[in-house]
Structure 1
Amino acid sequence: MAVLSHCPVLPATSQSWNKIIKKQVLEGSQKKALLTFLHMQEIGHFADNFSYPILLKATAALSLERVGSALHGQIIKTGFFNHSFVQTALLNLYSNFGCREESCRVFQQISVKDIVAWNSMLDAYAAVGEMENAMTIFHSIPCKDLLSYNIMVSGYAKIGDKILAENIFDKIHQKDIISWNSMILACCNAGDMEKARNFFDQMPSRNVITWNTMLTGYLGSNCLGRVIALFEEMQEENYDPDHLTITIVLSACANLGLLEKGEEMHIFALEKGLTSSPHVTTSLIEMYAKCGKIPSSLEVFYKSQIKDIYCWNAMISGLALHGLAFSAFKLFDAMKRKDLRPDDITFVGLLSACSHSGLIHEGLELFSSMEKKYAINPKLEHYGCIVDLLGRAGLLDHALQLIESMPIVPAKSILGALLGACVNYRNTEIGEKVVKLLLKSGESLSDGEHMMVANLYASCKQLEEANKWLKMMNDSGVSKTAGCSIIQVNGEMHRFVAGDKKKKLFNANAI
């Protein structure tokens, strides 16, 4: 047998088999461990209370829920369920699968619950955000340890409740790095980056997870300049970044249009040996495409040895961004030849390509094939692309009909795209219908939407109506957002805001 090709003689005892299976799991060969278990049974050896915890761990790592259920049944039949290690392993298995009912059932059947069992049940609730149930378990634990507190802080962090997270955090007498990282994550998820930074600065020690949490928080809060600045601080303090760090910084470069910094990050990733990660490859493709260097995107794509669906989608979207629809479709065909199944993001890229290139027939055909051929239900993004495609082509009636027939409530961005098309084609009839749909949503109109309605009437020389909308905008306290430009000079970023006569330079941290 291949999995035991290194063994000249097959193991003679269950203990020997257990050692082989445990070694395979520790080496990350979970599938091989399960195959070894099957072979072990075929030749007459059976699992015991030491085998099952290892096997359940392997099953959880591979997310094989049916195999886990089968092992559970075998454990009951062979009489090993009452062993504490087996019970805890089952509890962790169901927790990993998000099966709270099964977790509870196993937990209730444990006669003597140790701290490992309590924490496993606590984690089962906290991992899925059921913090009320988690708190009930937390208060029931007779002797809590540091892990109990960390699970609670982490659980509140996931749902962005920084207040309750801090309440638990303050009760920890000897905090470890996980406690601090979880508290920072709670602040980041709550959008309070100032408080997150305060905790970050107070930490006695940091690791790469700490830095990545802060970087992700800044990226999610659109503080893109702070992402760049924090990464430079990370380098100054001699922390080694990982593939996630590079991915976050490249994403900030892409959104800021910082080609020079992006190229610098590319060289840095090559030097650190991080470009083999598909995540870094995807971010490099996106960065070069958004910074206008599509040949560099293609070079990164074709040179990459490992390409997942995200890499293909990034390249298709990059081509779409530059109006290279036929190249995007050629890449789509190549992707199918590789037996890679497209997902909803693939179709967003392709439909966007059709929209930018005015390929009406191709776009509608592709949209129709999503459900029929690929069993992908269109989402708001797909409808948005088709509305944009029809709007750009002046087929405003068709676009409105599509919006009115949508099985989901149209997003304001979709209605805004059609309203913009109405301005371009000076069509007040459809435009007024779109405005009614916008007002029907119950949300107040943004500055951009007010301006589009005013421009619609102004373009049709209905100045009185245009002035009425401008007055409504002023009376409601909505002000037009000032435009800004960001440039990079000698490695430093500066922002110029429209209307600022002094042309004041802004520090990167303010961006």
Structure 2
Amino acid sequence: MYAKCGSLLDAEDLFDEMLERSVFTYNAMFGAYVTNGDPSKAIELYAYMRLSGVPADAHTCSCVLKACSGVGDIYCGREIHGYAVKCGLVCNDIVVNSLVSVYARCNDLNAAELLFNRSGSGDVVLWNLMISAYAANGMGKEALRVFREMQNAAVTPTTYTFVAALQACNELLSGVQIHAFVLKSGLSFDRYVANALVVMYSKCSRINEAARIFIDIGDRDNVSWNSMLAAYVQNGLYDKSLDLFREIIRAGQQPDQVSIISVLSACGRSGNLLNGMEIHAFALKNEMELDLQVGNTIVDMYAKCSKTCFMDSAFRRIPLKDYISWTTVIAGYVQNYCHTKALQSFRDALVEGIDIDKMMIESLLLACRTLICISIVKEIHGYITRRELSDIILQNTVVDVYGECGEVDYARNFFKLIEVKNVVSWTTMVACYVHNGLADEALELSYHMVNAGIELDSIAILSILSAAANLSALRKGKEIHAFVVRRSLHLGDSIASSLVDMYASCGTVEKSYKVFNSMKDKDLVLWTSMINAYGMHGQGVKAIELFRKMESENLLPDHITFLALLFACSHSSLVDDGKTIFNAMQFQYDMEPWPEHYACLVDLLGRANCLEEAFELVKSMKTEPTSAVWCALLGACRTHRNMEIGEIAARNLLEIDPENPGNYVLISNMYAAAERWEDVEQLRMRMKIKKLKKDPGCSWIEVKNKVHTFITRDRSHPESDEIYEKLSQITEKLESGGGYKPETSYVLHNVEEREKVKMLHGHSERLALAYGLLTTPHRTPIRVTKNLRVCGDCHTFTKLLSKFYEREIVVRDANRFHHFRDGVCSCGDFW
């Protein structure tokens, strides 16, 4: 009586006063503890009862097993199972049902099914328990198997049978079949079954069917309303979920915490701040805000609506925060680019003694990725290793963050430690190499990836194409293109754009256009990629024609499109067209130019020797000129020997970007061209003091699917003797037959003429060209890529080589592509 009235203390006092206790007395107390939510005390009392020598009966076992289920105590459950076997109670249906319930609750489904099979019972409760056990553990197929066996055993299903079976349905066909069985059984108007049908159809994205069933529910309870609310939210119908929430209130139904959580999620996902604040106010008015799950959802809603100040306020109002609260607020800061605040919140969580979960670690890593905070990444790496966290998503994120932070060795070592790599693991490592300029390593890893039997996905293909483009590895790029065609993979806009870029970067702009032209529905990125491809190859007129065609198809350009256009004009000396496009961007399309657009136009004007106009353009910029703008102006001043403007550009450049060695080299070259050797030496001393080093000239060539790299005056190649001998033969032939004379003015060092000739002779692109002539058949094209701008002497040398050796030569330097054929270059000697 006391227990039923909720007075557990009175029940305990009365029980303690009893001098003699029978099994019935103990059973009453077990029931009191279980009913009043204190299962641990029931288990303690059971142990005392056994020590007291009072024998347990079937009701005892059933009560205590319920307590074991409540706390997940499988050890006590097994002990009672042993006792039941010993005392012959294992044949009792109630005991068997309770044992199956314990094993299911403790995730020992093998033991549960073993008991179930041995019982041979036609008890519908036992069948329901078994179906529910599998459904609750995400084993839908097994649950439906038991449901079918139940049908074959001619056991009549109940409401709870259908509810459990519908929970197990992840496929529409199974759900429809069970729905048909429900109709046949006459339980279609049962509220619990109807609620389960709403959830099932929602999971299968059949929202109209879910809504029809919901409408037919006569006596809706909170579960009915919440099931339909969740259905709308899960299927992205956020406005309908808000309408339904208002309908709940109009119907006189009081929304509960589950209702609030669903509708707040809808507001967050749709970025509906005003309605989100309205629901927050409703929760506050109805004293639901302090509920932990509601509080966490409010924090998440404000994070998704990009209101971090409101998010922080809501977070602070949660009285007892759990790890989900901290994970949500940290993720919210990261989503809104408040990375420093995310790290500070993490430190606060550690002070509070909060357990770190995988989601929190992932958010932290994303913050470190942006902040380049490598010390914390290493700490997290150590934490993951110590805790033996083998979550593949987390491991892949660590590799990605190390790569983004430039720590390639750490990324590689961590990648090797991943025992079971998936396609994302391999793709992340390939992308890491590409991001850090290690295209050779990226391509090498892609071979291992294929050999390991990993099926390339679109992300992997994009990364490998990027590596092939960086190295101008045409053969590898063609292999990937063939793979896409062979596997009948969808040539989406992103892959098509990457193929256009890859073929252009490998010197075959015609193939770029074929890929571009093969696409029926072209997006802006694809158009821009093709415009950029023409620009890279000095085909500015074609780039502008393509842009006009894009305009005629009513596709609006963006900043990147205009950048590609201005780049194309710059490398084709289309000064008037460049100015027109720059003005159209501002006045026709109402776009504010980026510093990069100014840099392109300055470069265009500078190449055309319009230095005063270029300088005025720089001075007219609304924002401070960037280093790229001053570099463009400085490069033009060096070419046209305008020291006055050049020195202004140099001062500004070193003030903005004093740690970039390329800037010192560019200024040094300007002084060297004017034979101001003392200034050159001063700059070199400044570089030495700052410990800055110039990037050496480097060229590479792909021969027989392998990329060979050459550095200026390098002899590390295994065939270097043959290469230098061939280069001497080429030089001799060009001097005697073509009138080639080294233009030593391009050597920007204060050394003797003989030494200058030697320095020109050892330029990296010449070594690559010599190797190409040695190793490729006569009259086949030679493709070379260089990391720096080709000097004027090498340009002349390559023109003559193409004529006297009857080769088409494609050279990609830091500025553009040069197509040499019959002694003429596509750039028209303008680069």
TM-score for the superposition, normalised by structure 2: 0.54
Question: Which residue of the partner structure matches residue 262 of structure 2?
Answer: 54
Is residue 2:519 matched to residue 1:324?
no
Asked if the contact 1:95/1:121 (under 8 Å) is kept, the reply is yes
- 1:52-451 correspondence runs (5 A): 52-73=260-281, 75-76=283-284, 80-127=288-335, 128-129=338-339, 130=341, 131-172=343-384, 173-176=387-390, 177-272=392-487, 274-305=489-520, 307-441=522-656, 443=658, 446=662, 448-451=665-668
Asked if the contact 2:672/2:680 (under 8 Å) is kept, the reply is no
Max radius of gyration: which structure? 2
Question: Which residue of the partner structure matches residue 489 of structure 1?
Answer: 703
CA, structure 1 residues 320+436, in 2 after alignment: closer, same or farther (shift >3 Å)? same
Asked if the contact 1:380/1:411 (under 8 Å) is kept, the reply is yes
Is residue 2:216 matched to residue 1:4?
no
Listed one character per residue, the Cα deviations across residues 66-112 of structure 1 (whole Å, up to 9, x for unaligned) are 55445445555676544443332222222234432212222222234
Which sits farther off after the overlay, 42-51 or 176-185? 42-51
What is the rounded CA distance, in whole Å, between the counterparts of 1:423 and 1:151 in structure 2? 48
Question: Which residue of the partner structure matches residue 712 of structure 2?
Answer: 498
CA, structure 1 residues 475+344, in 2 after alignment: closer, same or farther (shift >3 Å)? same
Letter in 2 for 1:417: A
Letter in 2 for 1:493: V
Question: Which residue of the partner structure matches residue 65 of structure 2?
Answer: none
RMSD: 3.3
Gaps of 5+ in 1: 458-462
Listed one character per residue, the Cα deviations across residues 321-371 of structure 1 (whole Å, up to 9, x for unaligned) are 233334333433444455443221111012112222333233223223333
Report the 3-state secondary structure (helix = DSSP H, G, I; strand = E; otherwise coil) of the residue aligned with 1:171.
Answer: helix
Asked if the contact 1:473/1:479 (under 8 Å) is kept, the reply is no
Letter in 1 for 2:456: P
Report the 3-state secondary structure (helix = DSSP H, G, I; strand = E; otherwise coil) of the residue aligned with 1:494.
Answer: strand
What is the rounded CA distance, in whole Å, between the counterparts of 1:9 and 1:503 in structure 2? 75
Report the 3-state secondary structure (helix = DSSP H, G, I; strand = E; otherwise coil) of the residue aligned with 1:241.
Answer: coil
- 1:29-40 correspondence runs (5 A): 29-30=235-236, 32-35=237-240, 37-38=242-243
Asked if the contact 1:497/1:503 (under 8 Å) is kept, the reply is no
Instruction: Give 1:239 deviation, angstroms.
Output: 2.3
Question: Which residue of the partner structure matches residue 682 of structure 2?
Answer: 472
Instruction: Give 1:171 deviation, angstroms.
Output: 3.2
What is the rounded CA distance, in whole Å, between the counterparts of 1:102 and 1:433 in structure 2? 48
Which sits farther off after the overlay, 264-273 or 191-200? 264-273
Asked if the contact 2:641/2:670 (under 8 Å) is kept, the reply is no
Instruction: Give 1:189 deviation, angstroms.
Output: 2.7
Instruction: Give 1:150 deviation, angstroms.
Output: 4.5
What is the rounded CA distance, in whole Å, between the counterparts of 1:276 and 1:58 in structure 2? 34
Which sits farther off after the overlay, 153-162 or 113-122? 153-162
Listed one character per residue, the Cα deviations across residues 110-131 of structure 1 (whole Å, up to 9, x for unaligned) are 2343332232123234553121
CA, structure 1 residues 108+422, in 2 after alignment: closer, same or farther (shift >3 Å)? closer
Letter in 1 for 2:323: I
Q: Which has the higher contact order (CA 8 A, sep 6+)?
A: 1
Aligned-pair identity (%) = 27
Which sits farther off after the overlay, 243-252 or 368-377? 368-377
Aligned residues: 496
What is the rounded CA distance, in whole Å, between the counterparts of 1:332 and 1:64 in structure 2? 38
Report the 3-state secondary structure (helix = DSSP H, G, I; strand = E; otherwise coil) of the residue aligned with 1:342.
Answer: coil
Asked if the contact 2:697/2:711 (under 8 Å) is kept, the reply is yes
What is the rounded CA distance, in whole Å, between the counterparts of 1:206 and 1:303 in structure 2? 35
Asked if the contact 1:352/1:385 (under 8 Å) is kept, the reply is yes
Instruction: Give 1:505 deviation, angstroms.
Output: 7.1
What is the rounded CA distance, in whole Å, between the counterparts of 2:488 and 2:497 in structure 1? 16
Instruction: Give 1:139 deviation, angstroms.
Output: 2.5
What is the rounded CA distance, in whole Å, between the counterparts of 1:157 and 1:440 in structure 2? 28
Instruction: Give 1:396 deviation, angstroms.
Output: 0.8
Instruction: Give 1:399 deviation, angstroms.
Output: 0.6
Instruction: Give 1:390 deviation, angstroms.
Output: 0.6
Instruction: Give 1:480 deviation, angstroms.
Output: 5.4
Question: Which residue of the partner structure matches residue 186 of structure 2?
Answer: none
Letter in 2 for 1:347: F
- 2:230 counterpart (11, 16, 22): 22
Report the 3-state secondary structure (helix = DSSP H, G, I; strand = E; otherwise coil) of the residue aligned with 1:367.
Answer: helix
CA, structure 1 residues 16+227, in 2 after alignment: closer, same or farther (shift >3 Å)? same
Report the 3-state secondary structure (helix = DSSP H, G, I; strand = E; otherwise coil) of the residue aligned with 1:500.
Answer: coil
Asked if the contact 1:22/1:54 (under 8 Å) is kept, the reply is yes
Letter in 1 for 2:328: S
What is the rounded CA distance, in whole Å, between the counterparts of 1:66 and 1:304 in structure 2? 42
What is the rounded CA distance, in whole Å, between the counterparts of 2:374 and 2:657 in structure 1? 30
Report the 3-state secondary structure (helix = DSSP H, G, I; strand = E; otherwise coil) of the residue aligned with 2:571.
Answer: helix
CA, structure 1 residues 266+35, in 2 after alignment: closer, same or farther (shift >3 Å)? farther
